[in-house]
Amino acid sequence: MIEGVKQQKWWGWGEEGQAYSAEGKPKFAPFVKKMTGIDIHAPVKPVPNFEDLDVPVSILGDDLRGTLVGILGEQYVQTDDETRVVHTFGKGVRDLMRVRRGDLGRVPDVVVYPADEAQVAGVMDAVVEADGVVIPFGGGSNIVAALEAVPGESRAIVSVNLGRLNKVLEIDEQSGLARIQAGVFGPDMEEQLQARGWTMGHHPDSFVWSTLGGWIATRSSGMQSDKYGDIADITRGLRMVMPGQILELRPLPSTSSGPSVREMVLGSEGRLGIITEAWVNVHRIPEVREIQAYFFPDYYAGLRACEQVVHDGVGVMMARVSDAIETQYIMANGKESKSKVSKLANAGVKKLMEAKKWDLGQIAMSFIGFEGTANDVRYKKGLVAKIVKQHGGFGVGSGPGALYDQKKYDTPYLRDFMLDRGLVCDVSETTAPWKYAEALHRKTTKAFNDAMEEIGKIGVVFCHISHSYHSGACQYFTFVVNDDSETAEHSYDVAKRAIQQSFVDHHATVSHHHGVGEEHSPWMAEDISPAGVFIQRKLFDGVDPGGNLNPGKIVHDGEPGISSNSPDA
């Protein structure tokens, strides 16, 4: 461990001692049992002991090691087994299944911790000169296999952790821009900004365990992107270390300087270099922040309401609607209220739904967020209330929204909790034009259920709309498969393949904000056309002819639905 650099546990999300708990949630166990057939109170398998792992020996040569130590110092060149294993994978369910069973694949040979851009450049040039492989680590939260080396890689693999580059360097208050080092984690960045009255407003689910550089490298999006934009909108300039040179893009509001180099770097996943800092849009902390909860008779009514909110130009901070099963999950995942007032309120909501003759098995819950001055928030809430009513819904106040705001970063811990109990749980997200949004949800849900029936597994899939745009929306699917067998990874592949193929078959993209890595790369030709893949290959090969920069990510030659690290490959 390096002082001041956070590190997740080797076998799951977050630090040791941090975990999801179903305690005080009496509806959660029945919900899981109903949907998957699993009793969450049954004994679970213990997490393996690290000492039982067979960690491959580092093949870092003495010459390269000596060079790296000369650049960084002995302390910041680490080859111990646990540090190397932590930096082998991201936190996708395939990563977690493999690391728990000791299938480590090609472990990095060394993890380095540069302190500044000059050291990053020194590391880059030394590794390329030695014909090694450089893989930027970010916060290690990636779930699309963008961190793992290509199987069978025989060259020395160097994982670069920028956790020491964690400062907000300057704020241009007149322009609303901040220059920030790429290795900073979300909470540390916001603490530094907010101490001076500013916020970037970017809050992905992985916020606690992801970095600014990782967000840029994967084209991340946050819960509040309806107001603040995706990271592609937020990032105005950057610096990136490349072999033998440093790319500098000044923070300009817009340019007409040929094909956008900024856009080439966004989403490049380490294939072009290592991002060391960025200029980003920042905003004054709003006077009022409020998240209101609403109910709709079904998911599609809520989806149409979100579309109208965007097209009417209301300007909300977030607009989220969950489908029927996800709504049931949200309700089951809440702690039991002991307040008489809350119980009466819940009974009143149910009575109102029954009076409206709603099918209670189809109701959809929505969270819509507002920020601004008190008058601005009041006005926007009024506009949204009218739209919600037009689509058959009604509001239930800010109480559920406040609870959502408090618990919004807890979701990733569920993956470990489910895996402990023999449930393979993961997510896939996409975006499509409004015209196709309803059909995409129906057909993707059907594709998953058909796939489960075909392999004889119990599974469940649910969805929410998470980000809205003028022309369409992101729909975020969560899927769970009951499979604790030795072939669980195959069941995962079948489920993931069905969902991803449905995306590209129904006018949607392979990923909205998780990136490509290896998990999504087999669908790239269907997503951006073979000519698009040709352009990407030429770009990567031109910048990195020796294949030293995180090779195998974004484009590779696997079959659709099978990454090169899949058991089917």
Catalytic residue among 20, 294, 476, 492: 476
**3-state SS, residue 527:** helix
**pLDDT on residue 567:** 52
CB atoms within 10 A of CB 216: 25
Average pLDDT of span 491-504 = 98
What stretches of 10-109 adopt beta strand conformation (E)?
Answer: 77-78
CA distance 467 to 231: 13
pLDDT of residue 569: 52
How does residue 559 score in pLDDT terms, banded at 50, 70 and 90? Answer: very low
Q: Is the pLDDT of residue 451 over 80?
A: yes
**What's CA 378's distance to the chain center, in Å?**
32
Q: In angstroms, what CA-CA distances link 437 with 429, 444, 449, 536?
A: 13, 11, 19, 28
DSSP state of 1: -
Rg (CA), the chain: 23
Count of residues making up the chain? 569
Q: What is the pLDDT of residue 407?
A: 84
In angstroms, the CA 202 to CA 167 distance is 16
Does pLDDT of 565 surpass 70?
no
> Which pLDDT score is estimated for 96?
96
Residue 364 tokens read as: 């959809």
Q: Is there a contact between 477 and 464 (Cβ–Cβ < 8 Å)?
A: no
Asked whether the beta carbons of 544 and 272 are under 8 A apart, the reply is yes
Quote the distance between the C-alpha of residue 304 and its chain's center: 25
What's the pLDDT tens digit per position in 246-295?
Answer: 999 999 999 999 999 999 999 999 999 999 999 999 999 999 999 999 99
- Say what the pLDDT of residue 323 is: 98
Q: Which residue in the block uniquely carries the two structure tokens 């241009």?
A: 172
Whether residue 566 is predicted with pLDDT greater than 60 in this model: the reply is: no
Burial of 157 (0-12, 13-18, 19+ CB in 10 A): buried
Provide the CATH topology of domain 288-407: Vanillyl-alcohol Oxidase; Chain A, domain 3 (3.40.462)
**Single-letter residue type at 488:** A
Tell me the two tokens of residue 78: 């680490």
Q: Which of 483, 493, 478 is nearest to 424 (CA)?
A: 483
For residue 427, CA distances in Å to 104, 363, 448, 476, 496 come to: 22, 22, 12, 7, 9
* Per-residue pLDDT band at 366 (split at 50, 70, 90): very high
User: 360 near 353, Cβ under 8 Å?
Assistant: yes
What is the rounded CA–CA span in Å between residue 414 and residue 410? 8
Q: Is 413 part of the annotated catalytic residue set?
A: no
DSSP line for 404-422: HHHHTT-TTHHHHHHHHTT
Query: Residue 336's pLDDT is what?
Result: 77
| Model confidence pLDDT, tens digit, residues 141-196 | 999 999 999 999 999 999 999 999 999 999 999 999 999 999 999 999 999 999 99
Per-residue confidence band for 364, with pLDDT thresholds at 50, 70 and 90: very high
Contact status, residue 478 vs residue 438, Cβ threshold 8 Å:
no
Strand ranges across the sheet with 423-433: 394-397, 288-296, 364-372, 318-322, 459-468, 472-482, 423-433
pLDDT tens by residue, 393-430 = 999 999 989 888 888 898 899 999 999 999 999 999 99
Specify the pLDDT at position 202.
97
Average pLDDT score over residue span 448-475? 98
As a dihedral over the C-alpha atoms of residue 158, residue 145, residue 549, residue 264, rounded to 10 degrees, the angle is -140
DSSP of 260-306: -HHHHHTT-TTSS-EEEEEEEE-EEPPSEEEEEEEEESSHHHHHHHH
Residue 563 above 80 pLDDT?
no
Q: Which of 76-85, 331-340, 349-358 has the lowest mean pLDDT?
A: 331-340
556 in helix, strand or coil? coil
The alpha carbon torsion through 484, 485, 487, 493 (nearest 10 deg) reads: -10
The predicted model gives 36-52 an average pLDDT of 93
Inter-residue contact 504 to 532 (CB < 8 Å): no
Query: Band of the pLDDT at 339, cuts 50, 70, 90?
Result: low
Predicted confidence at residue 564, as pLDDT, reads 53
For the chain, domain boundaries = 288-407
pLDDT at 558: 52
Q: What is the pLDDT of residue 524?
A: 96
> What Cα–Cα distance (Å) separates residue 255 from each residue in 103, 251, 258, 273, 280?
47, 10, 8, 22, 16
Q: What is the distance of C-alpha 428 from the center of its chain?
A: 10
Q: Which residue has the higher pLDDT, 373 or 48?
A: 373
Whether the Cβ atoms of residue 239 and residue 121 lie closer than 8 Å to each other: no
- % of the chain surpassing 70 pLDDT: 96
- Residue 16's φ and ψ, nearest 5 degrees, are -55, 135
Q: What's the mean pLDDT in 379-383?
A: 98
The mean pLDDT value of the chain amounts to 95
Task: Beginning with the edge strand found earlier in the chain, give each strand of the sheet holding 157-160 in spatial order.
Answer: 77-78, 110-112, 157-160, 133-136
Residue labelled with tokens 């990510």: 553
